[in-house]
A and B are shown apart, each in its own frame.
Chain A
Amino acid sequence: MITVTINDREIKFDKAVTILEAARSGGIKIPTLCFFEGLEKFGGCRLCLVEVEKLPRLQTACTVMVTDGMVVRTETDAIIRARKAMLEFLLINHPLDCPYCDKSGECELQDLVAQYGAEEGRFAEGKRRHPESFDDPIIVRNMERCVTCTRCVRMCDGVQRASAITVTGRGDHSFVEPFSGGRYDCEYCGNCLTVCPVGAIMSRLHRHSYRAWFVEDEIETLCGFCGVGCSMILQMRENTILRAIPRMGMGINKGLLCARGRFGYDIIESNRRLTTPLVRKNGELKAVSWAEALGLVAEKFSEIKEQDGGEKFAGIVSPELTNEDNYVFQRFFRETLFSNNIDSIIRMFYAPAQAYFEGIFGQGITANLISGIGKSDAVVVAGGDPTKINPVLGLQVRAASGNGAKVVSLSNAAGLKRFASSEPVARSGSENFLYSALLKALIDTRGLPGRSGSIEQEIGNIKWPNDEEITQRTGLRKSDIEKVAEDLKDPKNISVIIGPDIMINNGLMGLFLIAAIIYVLDARIYLLSERPNEQGVIDTGCMPDTLPGGRPLEISSFREKFEQEMGYGVPGQKGLTLFEMFEAIGKGDIKAAYVMGDNPVFNLPAADRIREAMSGLDFLVVQDAFLSETAKMADVVLPAALWAEKDGTYVNLERRIQRLHRAKKSVGGLEGWQIIAGISGLMGSRMEYNSARDIWEEITRASHLYGSVSYEDLATDKSLWPYKGEPLRSGKWEIKIPEEVVEKTGHGCHVYPDRLLFHSGSFSRYSPALNSIQAEPYAVMHPDTAKSIDIKDGDRIKIAAANGWSIELVSKVDNEIRDFSVRVPNVFEGVCVMSLVDYGIEPGTGAPVWKLSDIKIEKVQ
């Protein structure tokens, strides 16, 4: 027990803390400037100087630890004089341009000077001049205002670990700069903006557009860009978002954001938003009233249902929408249309991967705290770059590395360069050789754990590729793999992070080998989640074969119990999975489709085949915030609200249920559930919801999983898996070597979707801010690949696939693409890389497995 006396008050502590923490815990305020919670201690600004008895000099409260019996004074005359002196020093060079500075009103220096003075500066000579830098589209740097607290650099180095900015020079010529001195070459997380205490590093997006005191309201809600589920605050005025900011310590992101979260909010305010329903008349989409649009949908759907029955419908939901939207959608499909044909894009990776791992290791096996990654002593990454797909989760991998963990990256993860202890990347298409070689090597170094005879027996049946074959196929040497096995020999607390690329051409075989590796490593599993509510889609029963809560609907006892409880019927036969639906549409077996918040003709593999199929539908309804490629084909387009305009819940990749809070009224869109309930009502099934809360309460009745989570529980730990219950460990603890689904042809160049840090899915293209960072797609490839096809960086090229489709774009040569694939982001209008690939359906999970075929690349003049 440590007893400290601060300003004559005794305070007791169990463990040593800094004087600053001690004082704050006792409600005693000590001014600070360079101190920032979560950043490395610095002690440079000297504002927190305090007197400590028996020590001759004033001490910095933010760095000195309390000791038993310490006597501290924080407000003596000498201290107040010192603080005033420090502020006077800072004002030597800091301009007094507060009337013009955007920071005014929320500037820490301004507040400190207001409190402590230096009312009159005695510095008579001219201030340091340094022109404001507008070289960057997002960040404006004003180094005249910089107080050299280095919070931004410590954030960038120590937390974001991007090290994109530095202090250059020294003394009173110290400036914060990116390497170029002008434009940033950085991750644009903007976390430097959060920590700058003055107006030295500011966002250009809202420059001079408002003052801090114009903010009328602050709404705490979730980011709508990925499955991490970061919390953030939307600052509002007159139904407009002024800016999105995090708050330190808040949410699972603890106040960090990524580029998409921080700057992508402007899609909400985009002038390309749909503001009115559209109906196709004489081949053209025309603006109509909601009544007319919903009436038409209800009429058409009723007609088809009566003539052909529910199985003639296809319903596509979206992991970008809330649980409430998706739940109501499945109820509409099951109750009103009597159809189980409900699925979504999560069929690509998240759903089959989770189902696969849960089948082996038990339900909830992927529900692990993101913060646990940073505490691991080893992290294995496969199938994607977590720092791009789920950037804030990616920071945990970097943090683990910083804490000394071994980080093994088995995929192209440029964001982990400098952090990975080994990075064996296999040639595209040969990943399974790498995985099996690694599995074998791990068994050699760690041994089999002996926990499941069944798994170990099946591992025994694996036909191991020989060293020669491995090297020939993967391009890796035996020593590369031995190095990984050596790194992973001793760790006890291992996280395995799996991204969507694992399914691309490896299918279940990839998952099988990774599952075996997880078994040998006794590791925790994390599934990267590209969209904010992939887990919620599963949980709300938006699957062709499961009810809300995840129980199989074909088991009649489950179904009957559900029907009894909920008062609506569910077809007894499971519906079609996403890709089965498209096959059926292509064959004319499905007549009408409702696409809620997705863009399948752009986002799914064989996109053009899907487009062709969909053009044959009798009736297509698309609900979206923008006129997407799919919406353009629709008979009825219904404008939807986006996440900042909604209440409701998302479930993140940890399976944590979190609440969205409506920040503003939509420009013209309605929330998904409102639209669906409207149509449903017109078709005779009344769904009487007044708010998202009403739906949540219905979901808790429908889902045994959420049964115990009240609306009030949503902000608490009770909304975290297993939701007050016991974790189920009903896994079979057995694996089967899967069949190969598609025949692998070609060992040349393959094209993959590039998953960007600055964009996600096909709607971030509507963000002017994100476009100002990256507005153009490019085909990125390794210098060797480029050389082999005689392409130089910046060439305009045409990539043609065996299926006859092609795209044209600019090449980018980058040695960080190490697997000799060509990567193209599937984001930008007119460049749909998904049109270049074909797939086969994995029968067990319905997941698409890509048929890799060689592509042809040629220069375009």
Chain B
Amino acid sequence: MITEEIIKKIQQKKGDYPVFRSAIMSALHEIQNTEGWLSQESLYKVSGMLNIPPATVKGVATFYHMYRHVPMGRNIIQICTNVACMIMGAEKLVDLLKREFGIEAGGTTGDKRFSLVIMECIGACGTAPAMLVNDDFHDNLDEKRVMDILNGYK
């Protein structure tokens, strides 16, 4: 559901830009923050709110990798596998997560508790490997630490 509150936030964001359509990325973020992903209906609503053709909204929404186009689990594990994390063992952690939760990259557990997303660099190279769980940042990971951290997400 796109709530009144989201609509209000989007309306507010419009004021940040000389052209309303520039609020599109904020609008997509706002909706994704509550819905967890961007459905076709959501894209259509953004089109209406900002007077942008629906196809154009879709073009923007699919260009950026952090907009999600399938429903996500309650918690999104976004683990970096770029060079700095890779050489510090990120691949092993990804294998662990796949094994532990029985999901592939991009997948969601049957109980909708976790989705696993492979990320490019998240700017934690000095404390690699690292991941974001939802908006929370975790670094200096190893297999045990990852599982301990994830235990805190229900």
Direct contact of A and B (CB under 8 A): yes
CB atoms of B63 and A177 under 8 A apart: no
Closest to B57 in A: A179
- The segment out of A165-173, A360-368, A454-462 that lies at the interface is A165-173
- A164 interface residue (CB < 8 Å to B): yes
Residue among B43, B56, B57, B62 making CB contact with A169, cutoff 8 Å: B62
**What are the residues of chain A within 8 A of B53 when measuring CB–CB?**
162-164, 179, 418
Residue among B43, B51, B63 making CB contact with A418, cutoff 8 Å: B51
**What are the residues of chain B within 8 A of A166 when measuring CB–CB?**
55-56, 58-59
Closest to B60 in A: A166
**What are the residues of chain A within 8 A of B59 when measuring CB–CB?**
166-168
CB atoms of A169 and B55 under 8 A apart: no
CB atoms of A177 and B58 under 8 A apart: yes
CB atoms of B62 and A163 under 8 A apart: no
- A359 interface residue (CB < 8 Å to B): no
Whole-angstrom distance from the CB of A153 to the nearest CB of chain B?
8
- B73 interface residue (CB < 8 Å to A): no
**What are the residues of chain B within 8 A of A180 when measuring CB–CB?**
40
- A178 interface residue (CB < 8 Å to B): yes
Closest to A175 in B: B62
Number of residues on chain B facing chain A (CB within 8 A): 13
**What are the residues of chain B within 8 A of A165 when measuring CB–CB?**
55
Whole-angstrom distance from the CB of B32 to the nearest CB of chain A?
17
CB atoms of B62 and A179 under 8 A apart: no
CB atoms of A179 and B54 under 8 A apart: yes
Residue among A157, A168, A418 making CB contact with B58, cutoff 8 Å: A168
**What are the residues of chain A within 8 A of B43 when measuring CB–CB?**
179
CA gap between A668 and B21 in the complex, in Å: 56
CB atoms of B63 and A169 under 8 A apart: yes
Closest to B44 in A: A179
CA gap between A166 and B53 in the complex, in Å: 10
Whole-angstrom distance from the CB of B50 to the nearest CB of chain A?
11
CB atoms of B55 and A163 under 8 A apart: yes
CB atoms of A168 and B51 under 8 A apart: no
CA gap between A561 and B19 in the complex, in Å: 64
Digitize B49-91: 1 where CB-to-A-CB distance is under 8 Å, 0 elsewhere.
Answer: 0010111111100110000000000000000000000000000
CA gap between A185 and B40 in the complex, in Å: 14
**What are the residues of chain A within 8 A of B54 when measuring CB–CB?**
179, 185
Interface size on A, as a range, is 10 to 19
**What are the residues of chain B within 8 A of A168 when measuring CB–CB?**
58-59, 62-63
Digitize A167-208: 1 where CB-to-B-CB distance is under 8 Å, 0 elsewhere.
Answer: 111100000011110000100000000000000000000000
Which of A157, A164, A166, A185 has most chain B Cβ within 10 Å? A166
CB atoms of A164 and B63 under 8 A apart: no
Q: Which of B25-51 contact A (CB under 8 A)?
A: 40, 43-44, 51
CA gap between A168 and B54 in the complex, in Å: 12
CA gap between A234 and B13 in the complex, in Å: 51
Which of B55, B57, B58 has most chain A Cβ within 10 Å? B55
**What are the residues of chain B within 8 A of A177 when measuring CB–CB?**
55, 58
CA gap between A177 and B62 in the complex, in Å: 11
Whole-angstrom distance from the CB of B105 to the nearest CB of chain A?
15
Whole-angstrom distance from the CB of B120 to the nearest CB of chain A?
12
CB atoms of A163 and B56 under 8 A apart: yes
CB atoms of B62 and A164 under 8 A apart: no
**What are the residues of chain A within 8 A of B63 when measuring CB–CB?**
168-170
CB atoms of B58 and A179 under 8 A apart: yes
**What are the residues of chain A within 8 A of B56 when measuring CB–CB?**
157, 163, 166
Whole-angstrom distance from the CB of B119 to the nearest CB of chain A?
16
Closest to A157 in B: B56
CA gap between A157 and B52 in the complex, in Å: 12
**What are the residues of chain A within 8 A of B44 when measuring CB–CB?**
179
CA gap between A77 and B63 in the complex, in Å: 37
CA gap between A168 and B57 in the complex, in Å: 10
Whole-angstrom distance from the CB of A185 to the nearest CB of chain B?
8
CB atoms of B51 and A178 under 8 A apart: no
**What are the residues of chain B within 8 A of A178 when measuring CB–CB?**
55
**What are the residues of chain A within 8 A of B51 when measuring CB–CB?**
418
Closest to A163 in B: B53
Closest to A167 in B: B59
Whole-angstrom distance from the CB of A544 to the nearest CB of chain B?
48
CA gap between A165 and B57 in the complex, in Å: 10
Whole-angstrom distance from the CB of A130 to the nearest CB of chain B?
14
**What are the residues of chain A within 8 A of B40 when measuring CB–CB?**
179-180
Whole-angstrom distance from the CB of B118 to the nearest CB of chain A?
15
CA gap between A163 and B59 in the complex, in Å: 11
Digitize A755-776: 1 where CB-to-B-CB distance is under 8 Å, 0 elsewhere.
Answer: 0000000000000000000000
CA gap between A378 and B78 in the complex, in Å: 51
CA gap between A281 and B59 in the complex, in Å: 63
Digitize A138-151: 1 where CB-to-B-CB distance is under 8 Å, 0 elsewhere.
Answer: 00000000000000
CA gap between A164 and B57 in the complex, in Å: 11
Which of A163, A164, A169, A177 has most chain B Cβ within 10 Å? A163
Whole-angstrom distance from the CB of A656 to the nearest CB of chain B?
33
CA gap between A180 and B57 in the complex, in Å: 12
CA gap between A752 and B53 in the complex, in Å: 28
Whole-angstrom distance from the CB of B69 to the nearest CB of chain A?
10
Digitize B120-134: 1 where CB-to-A-CB distance is under 8 Å, 0 elsewhere.
Answer: 000000000000000
**What are the residues of chain A within 8 A of B62 when measuring CB–CB?**
168-170
Whole-angstrom distance from the CB of B24 to the nearest CB of chain A?
13
Whole-angstrom distance from the CB of A228 to the nearest CB of chain B?
24
Closest to A153 in B: B59
Whole-angstrom distance from the CB of A146 to the nearest CB of chain B?
14
Whole-angstrom distance from the CB of B28 to the nearest CB of chain A?
14
CA gap between A418 and B43 in the complex, in Å: 17
CA gap between A578 and B54 in the complex, in Å: 46
CA gap between A842 and B101 in the complex, in Å: 80
CA gap between A628 and B111 in the complex, in Å: 63
CA gap between A95 and B44 in the complex, in Å: 33
**What are the residues of chain B within 8 A of A157 when measuring CB–CB?**
56
Which of A157, A168, A169, A177 has most chain B Cβ within 10 Å? A168
Q: Which of A55-101 contact B (CB under 8 A)?
A: none
CA gap between A776 and B51 in the complex, in Å: 29
**What are the residues of chain B within 8 A of A163 when measuring CB–CB?**
53, 55-56
CA gap between A185 and B53 in the complex, in Å: 11
Whole-angstrom distance from the CB of B49 to the nearest CB of chain A?
13
CA gap between A583 and B70 in the complex, in Å: 65
CA gap between A414 and B54 in the complex, in Å: 15
Whole-angstrom distance from the CB of B7 to the nearest CB of chain A?
17
CA gap between A169 and B55 in the complex, in Å: 12
Closest to B43 in A: A179
CA gap between A165 and B59 in the complex, in Å: 9
CA gap between A196 and B66 in the complex, in Å: 31
Whole-angstrom distance from the CB of B20 to the nearest CB of chain A?
12
CA gap between A168 and B58 in the complex, in Å: 7
Closest to B65 in A: A170
**What are the residues of chain B within 8 A of A167 when measuring CB–CB?**
59
CA gap between A627 and B88 in the complex, in Å: 80
Whole-angstrom distance from the CB of B37 to the nearest CB of chain A?
16
Whole-angstrom distance from the CB of B18 to the nearest CB of chain A?
14
CA gap between A227 and B44 in the complex, in Å: 35
Closest to A164 in B: B55
CA gap between A169 and B58 in the complex, in Å: 9
Whole-angstrom distance from the CB of B70 to the nearest CB of chain A?
14
**What are the residues of chain A within 8 A of B55 when measuring CB–CB?**
163-166, 177-179
CA gap between A170 and B58 in the complex, in Å: 12
CA gap between A178 and B47 in the complex, in Å: 14
CA gap between A180 and B55 in the complex, in Å: 8
Q: A157-B56, A164-B55, A179-B57 are in contact. List 14 more A-B contacts (CB 8 A).
A: A163-B55, A164-B53, A165-B55, A166-B55, A166-B56, A166-B58, A166-B59, A167-B59, A168-B58, A169-B62, A170-B62, A179-B58, A180-B40, A418-B51
User: Can you report 9 residue pairs joining A to B where beta carbons are below 8 Å apart?
Assistant: A157-B56, A162-B53, A163-B53, A168-B59, A168-B63, A170-B63, A178-B55, A179-B44, A179-B58
Contact residues of A with B, CB < 8 Å?
Answer: 157, 162-170, 177-180, 185, 418
* Chain A to chain B: the 8 pairs with minimum beta-carbon distance, closest first: A166-B59, A163-B53, A179-B54, A166-B55, A168-B62, A179-B55, A170-B63, A169-B62
